[in-house]
Amino acid sequence: MMIYNRMIIYITGASGSGKTTLLKSLSVKAYDLDDIYENNWKKHKRIDTVQKGVIKDINVLLSEHKNIVFVGLQGKDNLPFTPDVTYILIRKDYEQYYRDKLVRDLNLLCKYKNEFEEVFKKKPFDEFRNNFWSNDIVNMKSFDEFKKYVEKMNNSIKKDFPTAEILTASEIIKKIKTLF
């Protein structure tokens, strides 16, 4: 086992795999990159200033915590930090995973109803999908298509993070406990 003065762990995985839920179960400080990005979008509204804000916020968190976990779906080139360890979160209960993902996506549509109405009313047709790229309610994948999509997504993540371990939530929790 390697000994670090500071350890940054990155947990990634397909949309809806349970990254945000997992971070609530960890015994180390953990942050969702989606929240950090969303907070910066509210403040800055432009991609260049959003990215600078995210980097600033992450640097503050890194200065405050010796060991830290981030969860997200950002690829290696879009991460504003270099993780020491990366885990790819998977779920093996595909039927429940599919149901959970559909419910989550429906809730997101309801939460951001006004924003999505503006997209439908004003954006060109060919841009609609840009706003719903991971929403399976909108994309209405069949169960079999969903399983293939998740496997393709996990393979893509593995290419981006070739040394990452592919683990379930309980396996990740056990691994992190051994690190600290």
d(CA 68, CA 80): 14
Residues 6 or more apart whose Cβ sits within 8 Å of residue 180? 7, 27, 28, 67
d(CA 99, CA 137): 10
Name the percent of the chain lying above pLDDT 70. Answer: 93
Q: By the 8 A CB rule, do 28 and 67 touch? A: yes
Tokens 């500071």, residue located: 6
Q: By the 8 A CB rule, do 62 and 24 touch? A: no
| Side-by-side strand order, sheet with 67-71 | 30-32, 67-71, 7-13, 85-89, 165-167
For residue 82, the model assigns a pLDDT of 93
Q: What is the pLDDT of residues 108-167, one digit of tens each?
A: 888 888 888 888 888 887 777 666 766 766 677 788 988 999 999 999 999 999 999 999
pTM score, whole prediction? 0.84
Q: By the 8 A CB rule, do 33 and 71 touch? A: yes
